[in-house]
Amino acid sequence: MSRIGRQPIEIPSGVTVEIKGSDISVSGPKGKLSVSVRPEIEVKLKDNQIVASIKANTKDASAYWGLTRALLNNMVEGVTKGYEKKLELVGVGYRAKQNGTGISLTVGFSNPIEFLAPEEISIKVEDPTHITISGIDKQLVGLTASRIRKIKKPEPYKGKGIRYVGEVIRRKAGKAGKASV
């Protein structure tokens, strides 16, 4: 049995949930999201709550039950509060610049790297070394942040690169000096 799937999701005021067969859409003050649910799972509205349950008891049904509940909870939270990820650029001369719907990154390559944001995502450059990615879809915000980080991952010797704010990079020792004989 899924402990996560068993918990109901409270629907805050200003949020509407529509269930049409296996398609569920959640709309709120920040926008609208929708998801298609697996056939093993059944989703119902009861007393201003979303309740997920197992319809067909298969081998993976309890895992899908918890997954469905987590996805629905992320949707409800996304249309009310939204999600954001923060990145920082570490390195001499590493900087980001806002341009239109995307950003331009100068991270040690011969040319600046242009990154266009998906339509549902907003990218802000607070200062040349800090980037904020925000949106209502948790998966898309995380995916966009990981794609920007992938452009120049932090390296383990000097720690230079693009990293999440608060991320700890394990540093390696450099070359040992030549021993005198």
The model's confidence at residue 176, banded by pLDDT at 50, 70 and 90, is: confident
* 83-164 fold: Outer Surface Protein A; domain 3 (3.90.930)
Please state which CATH number belongs to domain 3-80. 3.90.930.12
Q: State residue 41 phi and psi, 5-degree precision.
A: -110, 140
Average the pLDDT over 139-154 and give the result.
96
What whole-number distance in Å separates Cα of residue 137 and Cα of residue 77?
Answer: 9
The model's confidence at residue 109, banded by pLDDT at 50, 70 and 90, is: very high
Tokens of 3: 């402990």
Whether 3-80 shares its CATH topology with 83-164 is answered: yes
Domain extents for the chain?
3-80, 83-164
What whole-number distance in Å separates Cα of residue 181 and Cα of residue 178?
Answer: 9
pTM to 2 decimal places: 0.88
Neighbours of 170 (CB within 10 A): 7
Average pLDDT, the chain: 92
The model's confidence at residue 1, banded by pLDDT at 50, 70 and 90, is: low
What whole-number distance in Å separates Cα of residue 79 and Cα of residue 71?
Answer: 12
**Could you read off the pLDDT of 13-67 as tens digits, one per residue?**
999 999 998 899 999 999 999 999 999 999 999 999 999 999 888 888 889 999 9
